[in-house]
Amino acid sequence: MEKRGLVNAYECYSCKRPTFTVLFRTGVTPAGATCPWCGGEMWSCWYLGVRVLRLASAHLGPVPAGISPDKAPLVITHAWYRPRPGEMHPLELEHVQRGGLLLETLGKAVSLSLSDDEPDSEEWKDWEPWLAERYGKAE
């Protein structure tokens, strides 16, 4: 299981566009998923900071001078979450019962860096009320 707060990237094999994700709850995420941008197949960078940063710099440009790569902000557009009862399709039920999480487009983007993956960081404190409203109290 991956822990809450981890930042990851997925790269689509069709459109090549990256999708940056964050775990709002501890759980299991898939190696591959459907690309939210084009419907193609996207694959995980396996939470490896080097691979996530390489993908980010390839699509967003290099990290500005004087900023440590692990502190460069990434705009997170999608979140892995555990749905509340009644919010999932019957085909998703077994996956979620085994600890699986579902992917959701965020209503507003989150700016986090790879080093800000602790739920006690300032970025998380700013987001906690919104997260609690949408996803329930933190585990």
In the chain, where the domains are located: 7-135
Q: What percent of the chain shows pLDDT beyond 90?
A: 12
Kindly provide the residue ranges of all beta strands, DSSP E only, lying in the chain, ordered along the sequence.
Answer: 7-12, 18-23, 32-34, 41-44, 74-81, 102-112
Count of beta carbons in the 10 Å neighbourhood of residue 82: 19
CB proximity list for 32: less than 8 A, separation 6 or greater: 41, 42, 43, 44
CA distance 102 to 112: 20
33 alpha-carbon distance from chain centroid: 12
CA distance 43 to 12: 6
| pLDDT exceeds 90 at position 34 | yes
> Is residue 14 very low, low, confident or very high in pLDDT (cuts 50, 70, 90)?
very high
